[in-house]
Chain A
Amino acid sequence: MKVSLTVNGRAEEVDVPTNTLLVDILRTNLGLTGTHVGCDTSQCGACTVHVNGGAVKSCTILAPQAEGLEVTTIEGIGTMDQLHPMQEAFRECHALQCGFCTPGMIMQAIDLVENHKDLDNCGIREGLEGNICRCTGYHNIVRAIQSVVDQG
């Protein structure tokens, strides 16, 4: 089936079987491999992207459900010359170890900061409950997000 959607501001049309997942459209059809597949069971959050402005797990959206959606992936939030402030904070705080969970962490962190005022350490940790870092490198991830919150 044909699916039309907007990804990082660009109109795209793909032709895929109905049982394709949004994450596979992004990675395979559109070559946007920054979005990762970790668990493929909707638990780890490595595949987190923004749909119509909110963080969602792209491994749990079917291709036909993606019709007409506005999707933003990790590739769409900054450039190599000008990183998104959240990317810059992750770099500054060394908020990664192996880096596999990082794109999903950053996409969820942006949603978190946009939707919550006065986030503290506890609020940030609770806000990351849908994202798993198997290196267990949470401490610097929380520091990075806190630094963005503190910058206002």
Chain B
Amino acid sequence: MYPYNYHRPTQVAEAVALFKASDDPMYLSGGMTLIPTMKQRLAAPTDLIDLSGIEEMSGLNATAEVVQVGAFTQHNVVARSAQVQATLPVLAQLAGLIGDNQVRNRGTIGGSVANSDPAADYPCAIVGLGATVVTQQRSISGDEFFKDLFETALEPGEIITRIDFPVPTRAAYRKFPNPASRYAVVGVMVADFSGSIRVGVTGAGPCAFRASGIEEVLNRELSADAVDGVEVPDAGFNSDLHASGEYRAHLVKIMAKRAVADLLHS
């Protein structure tokens, strides 16, 4: 790992000022992706701005309509939260499926979402539930947030401070994990908002996206069998040693069917 200057601000505005004053800075949240990347010298920031000292970025707040998660909240905090389990159980379940226990004790929701890894779990919840990504300067719709492979709508220096998840009538998440890394080869979130269905997909394409074709048929008929008739084109899908694009397109339908079956039994 190359040397870097380290900063630990206590306010969001201070973090942004440090970012603007640095040569080639990066924000550090839980570090579960960034630190291994730096160790491999695939990232070499001149300045690391550690967000762990900013108290307002941690913690949870749930009402009947919305679950607000501070960006620095660790995956295990979400997975084990009685509030989240009662209000938005699908989010607690999803958080408990990320990586492994040691990673869930350090990794944060803001770090995961800002990174936009094509196989990460949280982005699926952002698009599947239509969450709002809140930064120090604006609110970004979940549908507009993920742009491409490791690319988001965030501008340089912009910090995610909180994520607001609207509470659906019911929802389910299914993923086909890579057995070694536990990343999603494909993951699908199906959410029912009083009869209006949203379907989020991760793992299949360069970033998380909504499967509008599946949403369309599920809005007509909410059943696992209804998904059979949908064409999921694999154009632009990820293809690697773990799975071809064609296989991922197949998995999108299978995971969607399983999620619908779970949702109907919830």
Same complex origin of A and B: yes
A residues lining the B interface (CB < 8 Å): 1, 17-19, 40-43, 45, 48, 51, 54-57, 60-62, 64-65, 67, 108, 111-112, 115, 127, 129-131
Q: In whole angstroms, what is the CA distance A62 to B52 when docked?
A: 13
Stretch among B86-94, B95-103, B120-128, B238-246 lining the A interface: B95-103
Select from chain B the residue with minimum beta-carbon distance to A132: B180
B31→A111 contact, CB < 8 A: no
Q: In whole angstroms, what is the CA distance A39 to B180 when docked?
A: 14
Count class of interface residues, chain B: 20 to 34
B101→A55 contact, CB < 8 A: yes
B50→A57 contact, CB < 8 A: no
B1-41 contacts to A (CB < 8 Å): 1-6, 8, 28, 31-32, 35-36, 39-40
Q: In whole angstroms, what is the CA distance A57 to B35 when docked?
A: 11
B4→A65 contact, CB < 8 A: no
B31→A130 contact, CB < 8 A: no
B102→A48 contact, CB < 8 A: yes
A64→B8 contact, CB < 8 A: yes
Q: In whole angstroms, what is the CA distance A129 to B40 when docked?
A: 23
A18→B6 contact, CB < 8 A: yes
- Asked if A18 meets B31 with Cβ closer than 8 Å, knowing A64-B50, A65-B52, the reply is no
Which A residues lie within 8 Å of B2 (CB)? Answer: 19
B43-97 contacts to A (CB < 8 Å): 48, 50, 52, 76, 80
Kindly provide the distance from the CB of A141 to the nearest chain B CB, expressed in whole angstroms: 15
B4→A19 contact, CB < 8 A: yes
Q: In whole angstroms, what is the CA distance A51 to B48 when docked?
A: 21
A55→B50 contact, CB < 8 A: no
Kindly provide the distance from the CB of B78 to the nearest chain A CB, expressed in whole angstroms: 14
Kindly provide the distance from the CB of B113 to the nearest chain A CB, expressed in whole angstroms: 19
Say if the beta carbon of B196 comes within 8 Å of chain A. Answer: no
Which B residues lie within 8 Å of A43 (CB)? Answer: 180-181
Q: In whole angstroms, what is the CA distance A54 to B80 when docked?
A: 13
A112→B1 contact, CB < 8 A: no
Which A residues lie within 8 Å of B181 (CB)? Answer: 43
A60→B31 contact, CB < 8 A: yes
Select from chain B the residue with minimum beta-carbon distance to A58: B102
Say if the beta carbon of B136 comes within 8 Å of chain A. Answer: no
B4→A18 contact, CB < 8 A: yes
Which A residues lie within 8 Å of B28 (CB)? Answer: 62, 65
A18→B102 contact, CB < 8 A: no
Which B residues lie within 8 Å of A127 (CB)? Answer: 101
Q: In whole angstroms, what is the CA distance A131 to B182 when docked?
A: 13
Which B residues lie within 8 Å of A56 (CB)? Answer: 102, 105-106
Select from chain B the residue with minimum beta-carbon distance to A130: B100
Which B residues lie within 8 Å of A19 (CB)? Answer: 1-4
Which B residues lie within 8 Å of A18 (CB)? Answer: 3-6
Which B residues lie within 8 Å of A1 (CB)? Answer: 6
B76→A54 contact, CB < 8 A: yes
B35→A42 contact, CB < 8 A: yes
Which A residues lie within 8 Å of B3 (CB)? Answer: 17-19
- Asked if A57 meets B102 with Cβ closer than 8 Å, knowing A18-B6, A42-B32, A65-B31, the reply is yes
A62→B99 contact, CB < 8 A: no
A64→B102 contact, CB < 8 A: no
Q: In whole angstroms, what is the CA distance A51 to B106 when docked?
A: 10
